[in-house]
Amino acid sequence: MSSGEAEAKALDAADPGHRELFDVPPAEGGRYPEVAYFAGNSLGLRPKATRAELLEDLDAWATLGVEGHLDAARPWLPYHSLLTEPAARLVGALPSETVVMNSLTVNLHLLMVSFYRPSADRFKIVIEDSAFPSDSYAVRSQARFHGYSPDEAIVRLAPRPGESVLRTEDVVERISGSDVALVLLGGVNYLTGELMDIPGITAAGRAAGAIVGWDLAHAAGNVPLSLHDWDVDFAAWCSYKYLNSGPGSLAGAFVHERHLGASLQRFEGWWSTEQGSRFEMAPESRPPATADAWQVSNPPIFAMSPVRTSLELFDKVGIAVLRERSLRLTAYLERLLADLTPSRPLQVITPSDPSRRGAQLSLRISGSLRAGELAKTLRFEHGVIADAREPDVLRLAPVPLYSQYHDCWRAAEALAQAVPESA
């Protein structure tokens, strides 16, 4: 065993995390029985408790049929409320401001129905140039729906020439314009791993008269959030990345309490009305003064079950504790990569300031090697699963719940062998 590997194992013994609570995919041959998994920013690993708890909910269907709505151990009728308080704690919100429902982009659209209200003088939507494609598609379609040309309505913020991430002062300068109706940014940028200044940008946008919303797909379960105290207007997040709730699992939504009960435009359905009157079958909705008013359909119970399991785990461990371990784990990986990058066509584009990043380091690859090819080499020759974003970015996410220092060492060793030194 090398001194580097011995150091990694010693760090794991002192700072073990919670890997034993998760199912880690096996490695296909080679030296180690499990993969070193760095794709939790794309799909988190399955908690071991998920299978048994989901089967409990499935068995209620088998033994109770329709009576499961009221008589199951976890009754289906109010099931979504089991997720409300832990989800609110995770994102720093009031329970009344929080709801788990739908998928991320559906939630963004439902929220923009209420919060993108353009006028002739104020109709711009500001996003980051490297926004996840679904956000780009969503805001462009919203602009078209309201009768605006997407190319005129959408403002895409790009880093300064020669830089890889946005500067807060540049964001603030643009969103302070009187033409901005909506700011919709990623709390943690999916490509670079940059953690945006959510409170600062929110305050600047709202002071300028804009509505400020956040896509927290890469922030929820990754970094501590205080959406209520930061005065965010609205936010949405998925639960299949850092929240480990399974592929395509249900998403969350936040609406600040100052908007609750207000006469906002909103799409409605059966679950938008208050629970006490739902079975009166009245033709008009009576929405509650909570984020539940943005629900449309009755929730899918078997999709909610893994989210509930995951949120219980976050409640048990605590996001503050996870953030501290994340800082240590990511800094260790950063140190290992720093030994590689000077002599190889690799550049870390994630901010070096720990307060400006989440649990992710993104590497930009130069030369003829493509990110997808490198990811395949790491996976099939070294048992390291990373995430490639073509053509030239490889993302490594050391997730504090289950990643190990030894995983980080394996990733660095694999990159040293897979990426030739520059001539």
**63 within domain boundaries:** no
In the predicted structure, residue 1 carries a pLDDT above the cut 80: no
Q: What pLDDT was estimated at residue 276?
A: 85
* CB-based contact 417:391 (threshold 8 Å): no
Same-domain status, 28 and 13: yes
Range of the domain at 334: 3-48+318-418
**44 within domain boundaries:** yes
Q: Which one of 317, 333, 365 terminates a domain? A: 317
The number of domains in the chain is: 2
Calculate mean pLDDT across residues 225-245. Answer: 98
- State the pLDDT confidence band at 3, using cuts at 50, 70 and 90: confident
Listed residue (416, 307, 403, 409) closest to 359, CA to CA: 403
- State the pLDDT confidence band at 214, using cuts at 50, 70 and 90: very high
d(CA 85, CA 95): 5
Same-domain status, 159 and 238: yes
In the predicted structure, residue 211 carries a pLDDT above the cut 90: yes
Same-domain status, 342 and 218: no
**233 within domain boundaries:** yes
Q: Which one of 282, 317, 352 terminates a domain? A: 317
In the predicted structure, residue 367 carries a pLDDT above the cut 90: no
Mean pLDDT of the chain: 96
Same-domain status, 308 and 405: no
> Which of the 8 DSSP states describes residue 306?
H
Interval 10-50: pLDDT, tens:
999 999 999 999 999 999 877 899 999 999 999 999 999 99
In the predicted structure, residue 423 carries a pLDDT above the cut 60: no
Same-domain status, 235 and 283: yes
Calculate mean pLDDT across residues 345-353. Answer: 97
> Which of the 8 DSSP states describes residue 357?
B
Calculate mean pLDDT across residues 88-117. Answer: 98
Calculate mean pLDDT across residues 334-347. Answer: 93
**73 within domain boundaries:** no
Same-domain status, 128 and 188: yes
Q: What pLDDT was estimated at residue 105?
A: 98
**Residue 215, domain CATH:** 3.40.640.10
Same-domain status, 270 and 245: yes
Q: What pLDDT was estimated at residue 93?
A: 98
**68 within domain boundaries:** no
**261 within domain boundaries:** yes
Q: What pLDDT was estimated at residue 169?
A: 98
Same-domain status, 255 and 394: no
Q: What pLDDT was estimated at residue 409?
A: 98
Pairing between strand 124-128 and 346-348? unpaired
Backbone angles phi, psi at 75, to 5 degrees: -55, 140
Q: CA-based angle 320:323:327, to the nearest 5? A: 145
Same-domain status, 259 and 358: no
**Residue 409, domain CATH:** 3.90.1150.10
- The reply to whether the predicted model has a pTM over 0.85 is yes
DSSP 263-298: -------GGGS-GGGGGG--SS----SSGGGG--S-
Backbone angles phi, psi at 389, to 5 degrees: -125, 105
Same-domain status, 30 and 130: no
Same-domain status, 250 and 229: yes
Interval 239-292: pLDDT, tens:
999 999 999 999 999 999 999 988 899 999 989 999 888 888 888 999 999 999
Interval 114-163: pLDDT, tens:
999 999 999 999 999 999 999 999 999 999 999 999 999 999 999 999 99
